[in-house]
Amino acid sequence: MGTEILNCTEQALPVGAQAKRSTRKVAVSWGQKVVHIGGSASVVVQSMTNTDTVDAIATAIQVKELAMAGSELVRITVNTPEAAREVPAIREQLDRMGIDVPLVGDFHYNGHKLLTQFPECAQALSKYRINPGNMGGGKRRDDNFAQMIEVACRYEKPVRIGVNWGSLDHELLARMMDQNQQRQHPWTPQAVMRDALVVSAVSNAERAEELGLAADAIILSCKVSHVQDLITVYKDLSARCTYPLHLGLTEAGMGSKGIVASTAALAVLLQQGIGDTIRISLTPEPGGDRSREVVVAQEILQTMGLRAFTPMVVACPGCGRTSSTVFQELASDIQTYLRDQMPVWKTRYPGVESMNVAVMGCVVNGPGESRHADIGISLPGTGELPSAPVYVDGERVVTLKGDTIAQEFQEIVENYVQRRYGSGANHS
Ligand code: SF4
């Protein structure tokens, strides 16, 4: 009895995601800037504008905001001749602002025409998104697809062949439904649709290769709007090819629903080593910040331990032991402060993105959690002495009191960052 440890296993349980599945590596570039997708590269965060591309200034400003928030690729709609004509102007505007993020053109229905009629648009884009489900039918579809691939080859641009549940190739689906009826035990229509998505993506990629596009210039996606369907489809897709995969739950929705649904689906796949680039398709609130989808994508990757972008704040949820909102405000202020510093800090203080900060509401878990963080503060709960011990690298270093706790804590964080991550610091 007492201190005896019950040994159920010989070894400690493994922690962490499975190794990423082996894929080809695709380079998406603009000037000197190269973003790798697949191979040994980390999972890439991307996003999409919701401005009218014809409004080149508004689009360039939103691309800049998304890039500043951390989007490593930004996709823009290219749907009309007027939009295609503005793409080089958007690129120029970004270059003038020093924003080298590669632009991806999103094409549907008329991409073959726009890319051939507007060569400067084809050149200014770094990658083309092709949806084989809405390029017409029969021979016309084949010709339109071939025309887009020919442009990609000519300008040496990679493509994403993006199949979507809402615009699946009708002819392929009808054929597969017919074949399903020949089975001894026919699949459900849903199962046939999931299979058709994967078949459409892989067969179009193979066709692109036959047309001359290099295998390492192809990325695939199969987007659906239900979590379980997405997981099933991507597991199947990942087993059937070695192209890098773009993950995203399409039409994820607004607010917490969109965030939760996207996280649930992507976390399961990323944990299994599936996924090379992600986009979170959140519907913004009216007037809401488009960059939120970038923050959510980063937070999914960082909380899963796959990448680090911004120091993370661990905060307790609060409960009846602390009726004060001081710790909520401090946690929120510190998280905002840390994120706001990152554009400068990421070059000045390498490694700072992995820092952990704890802001806790009372003595129950406060000191313990604070000791586990790089820097932690345990604020006083109800009935506790009005003092807040601060822990740095597991040691209690100071106790703050009075109305300036927030300000003093921020200064401690700033000094710690300079000392630990500044030039000449020991980064171990
Ligand atoms: S640390 Fe204290 S205030 Fe925060 S949730 Fe735990 S008991 Fe409640």
Residue 86 or residue 386, greater confidence: 86
pLDDT digits 0-9 by tens, 121-137: 999 999 999 999 999 88
Interatomic CA distance for residues 145 and 328, integer angstroms: 53
Q: Taking 60 as the threshold, does the pLDDT of residue 222 lie above it?
A: yes
Task: Identify whether the C-beta of residue 76 lies closer than 8 Å to the C-beta of residue 53.
Answer: yes
Residue closest by Cα to atom 5 of ligand 1: 318
Atom of ligand 1 at shortest range from CA of 369: 1
pLDDT at 4: 65
- For residue 22, is pLDDT > 70? yes
Distance between CA atoms of residues 267 and 269, nearest Å:
5
Q: What is the pLDDT of residue 14?
A: 86
**Lowest mean per-residue pLDDT among 23-32, 165-174, 319-328, 388-397:** 319-328
Contacts of 404 (CB under 8 A, 6+ apart): none
Pocket of ligand 1 (CB under 6 A): 316-319, 321-322, 360-362, 364-366, 381
Q: Give the distance (Å) from ligand 1 centre to CA of residue 321.
A: 6
Give the Å distances, CA to CA, from 33 to 77, 101, 115, 155, 186: 22, 7, 23, 17, 50
Tokens of 421: 């991550």
Query: Does the annotation flag 369 for ligand binding?
Result: yes
Q: pTM for this structure?
A: 0.93
At 7, the pLDDT band (50, 70, 90 cuts) reads: low
